[in-house]
Amino acid sequence: MMAVTGIERNYSAYESAYAAQKKESEKEGKESRVITSTVELKTSTPGKTRTEQIKTGYSNVNDYAKYLQDKYSYMNAGTTSMQGVPTTVSVSGAFLKKCMNDPEKAKYLEENLAVIPDCVSHAISHSLGTLTSISVQIDANGNISMMSSGTSDPDGKIARENARRKAKEQKENEEKLERKRAEKKQAKREQEERLAEMRAERKAEGENLQSYEFKVVGKDVRDLTEKMIAAMKNPNSAAVSATAGIDLQV
């Protein structure tokens, strides 16, 4: 009689513990002192805000800058393309240092970084002629300078070039998104394979578990105890089965 009771339940508990341990491990390391705060940030639409989580408490500027660049890829990335227009967004390292442990300054910085794409788009659609470049700079004191250049572009050459850059930018974004999807699928597939392997191992372990019931009959408890112990130690033994007074049920 097989007994695998509790195997799946124990494995589910193992999966939960594994997930919790993995999540906890990801929080350790460099970000062990980082604090996540939920704040309301202004948007490019007057009077409208949005809820956002920001992080402070970094031990060095490089880690803080990396966190920001993961959210705002155009920050301190040189010239990038926004709506086909060459755009640069520069934040002073001195100001980053002031923000990395100051929630209020960090909120101010992220609030402005977040609206830059919308503001650039608005500037493009409302400018006279064709914009040829846009620059946003945040100095050591948090002061923001925004500069732009443009042309009447009578033959439409610059407009076509901007359109070409915009198409290229869109294609790169789509390819990047597709790569992320592929990586996510691969990671999920690998995780499922690992879990399947562990399930198979635990199933095999469960199939190797056996439950026995023994009944020994006699007139001496001490003798019956010894026979019971012998039967439990080697339940498939012919000697056990042949022992007088033992009713062996397997």
pLDDT by 10s per residue, the chain, length 250 = 334 344 344 445 545 554 555 555 455 444 459 999 999 998 888 889 999 999 999 999 999 999 999 999 999 999 999 988 899 999 999 999 999 999 999 999 999 999 999 999 999 888 877 888 999 999 999 999 999 888 877 566 777 787 788 888 888 888 888 888 888 888 888 888 888 888 787 777 666 666 666 677 777 888 888 888 887 777 665 444 444 444 444 3
Q: Are 188 and 165 in contact (CB under 8 A)?
A: no
At a CB cut-off of 8 Å and minimum separation 6, what does 10 contact?
Answer: 202
Q: Spell out the residues 6+ positions from residue 146 whose beta carbon is closer than 8 angstroms to its own.
A: 134, 135, 136, 137
pLDDT value, residue 243 = 47
Domain boundaries, the chain: 34-152, 213-249
How high is the pLDDT of residue 107? Answer: 96
Please report the pLDDT score of residue 246 as a whole number. Answer: 46
Measured on CA atoms in the order 57, 62, 65, 67, is the torsion positive or negative?
negative
Q: Which pLDDT does position 19 carry in this prediction?
A: 58
Burial of 106 (0-12, 13-18, 19+ CB in 10 A): buried
pLDDT value at residue 167:
81
- H-helix or E-strand spanning residue 61: helix 61-71
Find how far residue 48's CA is from the centre of its chain: 28
pTM: 0.54
DSSP one-letter code for 149: E
